[in-house]
Amino acid sequence: MNKILIVEDEDIFRTSLRRLLEHHHFETREAKNIEDALNRFELTDFSMIISDLRLPGAPGTDLIQLAGAVPVLIMTSYASLKCAVETMRMGAVDYIPKPFDHAELLEAVTRIMDKPRPVGQRHAPDLSNRGMIGSSPAMKTVYNIIQKVARTDATVLIHGETGTGKELAASAIHNESPRAKKQLICVNCAAIPETLIEAELFGHEKGAFTGATEARKGLVAAADGGTLFLDEVGELPLEAQARLLRVIQEKEVRAIGSVKSRKVDVRLVAATHRNLKKLCEQGRFREDLFYRINVVNLNLPPLRERGKDILEIADMLLAKQGQKLDRHHLKLAPDAIQAITMYNWPGNIRELENSLERASILCDENQQISHDLLGIELSLVEIGDQPSRLRSTPANIKHIDTDPPEGLSLEDYFTRFVLEHQEAMSETELARKLGISRKCLWERRQKLGIPRQKND
């Protein structure tokens, strides 16, 4: 049985959390503060520690160093993510805003528990020198697949949203393979006109078509001995798909206008953001080619699913901009860190890079980059980095007790609090009182079925 230590000074939260975890078959122990925990328990005996950020005597972040390799999840009741983000930089495995719902907490606990602890020399390969950054569970799975597949000549199909780093993954596969000293040829199939794509890929003889004034070797032949990366392979016209299938099956290529084929030794890596199986059903992608290129499937997670990786990536991109602009003291302000962490990033890493480049250019000398310079849509992101603001009460609102009553579940407490106070308080004020973002308040309204009665 997995054993969890709960460090929380508020009885209602500690008791509710213990009951929730024990109901789902986790063994738990409780402590009111760090001193209490150290006096009663050996921290390394636990599989995980859940601690409040603000505790009497010493902050919960002190447990990160004291617990060694034991993962520490931090809870915080403040709406600003500044402190939570800093705890993750200090080594916390994750954070949960209070009050939290049961499903959210259990998902985090299960994810952390399922993550294997370090044993001996087993670890995910370091691909940071290949441009790939991040230590989230999703990225560790990507690294492990790359490490395994790179040693082979198997064809790889990379799937991911625009901007997730598909070309970086292809480059990592090539650079970790025995073909690393040979050419890596990258082709964006969507960027080449359909009338030219076959000639570009497979080459052509002199006079093969209007404008072919001389013979030209194609990109497939140029990649001989190395790796050919076809980005957006779903955009290839059917005629080019047939020629590519021959390259894969017969290991040979025939230029347009030629009667002779030449042998090629090419490792193929393809990528797409589209559903190729659906394209096959629509007759827009050859099914036989799909099965040929889908030997090993590598799924790249979107940035919004990579947790604290986004901060590491942002730091790297900011340092890159600092070198480019000769401004080596660029730094994100707390409200910018909060915005970056909460924004969904539909354009993924490419959008983040563009946003940071813009902000770096517009930022005044010796000033931190604030959220308004990022140029991202913050309509669902509530910005605020002062904990004191959470305690302020509007003049027309009486003091509100936000301590959960004894015996009330956290979800029931959240529901009751919102229903009781939403007539007098705006969504922003409700979120601040509850210690969560406005976006989180909206999401929990939807999940718990709490109608919004007041427009603001």
Decide which of 45 and 335 is more confident: 45
Decide which of 203 and 414 is more confident: 203
Residue 179 has pLDDT above 90, yes or no: yes
Bridge partner residues of 187 (DSSP): 230
Residue 158: per-residue pLDDT: 97
Residue 137: per-residue pLDDT: 83
Residue 441: per-residue pLDDT: 76
Decide which of 438 and 92 is more confident: 92
Nearest to 227 by CA among 173, 285, 167, 149: 173
Residue 105: per-residue pLDDT: 83
Distance CA(261)–CA(176), nearest Å, equals 30
Residue 169: per-residue pLDDT: 95
Q: What's the half-sphere exposure (Cβ side, CA atoms, 13 Å) at 253?
A: 24
Mean pLDDT of 388-413: 42
Instruction: Supply 391's token pair.
Output: 């305690």
Residue 394 has pLDDT above 50, yes or no: no
| pLDDT band, very low/low/confident/very high, at 11 (cuts 50, 70, 90) | confident
Residue 118: per-residue pLDDT: 45
Strand 262-263 and strand 252-253: pairing?
antiparallel
Instruction: Supply 442's token pair.
Output: 């909206």
Residue 219: per-residue pLDDT: 92
Residue 378: per-residue pLDDT: 58
Residue 89: per-residue pLDDT: 64
Residue 295 has pLDDT above 90, yes or no: yes
Residue 405: per-residue pLDDT: 45
Q: Lowest-pLDDT range, 217-221, 328-332, 345-349?
A: 328-332
Residue 365: per-residue pLDDT: 81
Mean pLDDT of 224-233: 95
| pLDDT band, very low/low/confident/very high, at 86 (cuts 50, 70, 90) | low
Distance CA(104)–CA(88), nearest Å, equals 18
Residue 380: per-residue pLDDT: 44
Residue 73 has pLDDT above 70, yes or no: yes
| pLDDT band, very low/low/confident/very high, at 416 (cuts 50, 70, 90) | confident
pLDDT tens digits for range 229-288: 999 999 999 999 999 999 999 999 988 888 788 899 999 999 999 999 999 999 999 999
What does pTM read for this prediction? 0.59
Residue 344 has pLDDT above 60, yes or no: yes
| pLDDT band, very low/low/confident/very high, at 311 (cuts 50, 70, 90) | confident
Residue 279: per-residue pLDDT: 95
Strands (E), 284-431: 296-299
Bridge partner residues of 31 (DSSP): 7
Residue 15 has pLDDT above 70, yes or no: yes
| pLDDT mean across residues, the chain | 81
Residue 371 has pLDDT above 80, yes or no: yes
Residue 400: per-residue pLDDT: 39
At 97 the three-state DSSP class reads strand
pLDDT tens digits for range 313-339: 998 899 889 888 888 788 888 778 878
Decide which of 212 and 124 is more confident: 212
* C-alpha dihedral sign at 446, 447, 451, 453: negative
Decide which of 427 and 118 is more confident: 427
Q: What is the dihedral of CA 56, 61, 67, 71, to 10 degrees?
A: 120
* C-alpha dihedral sign at 429, 433, 439, 442: negative
Contact by Cβ (8 Å): 14, 34: no
Residue 21 has pLDDT above 50, yes or no: yes
* C-alpha dihedral sign at 311, 312, 316, 317: negative
Residue 351 has pLDDT above 90, yes or no: yes
Mean pLDDT of 389-406: 37
Instruction: Supply 359's token pair.
Output: 């902000």
Distance CA(211)–CA(317), nearest Å, equals 43
All structural domains of the chain, each given as residue ranges with its CATH number in brackets, are 3-114 (3.40.50.2300), 137-299 (3.40.50.300), 304-373 (1.10.8.60), 392-448 (no CATH)
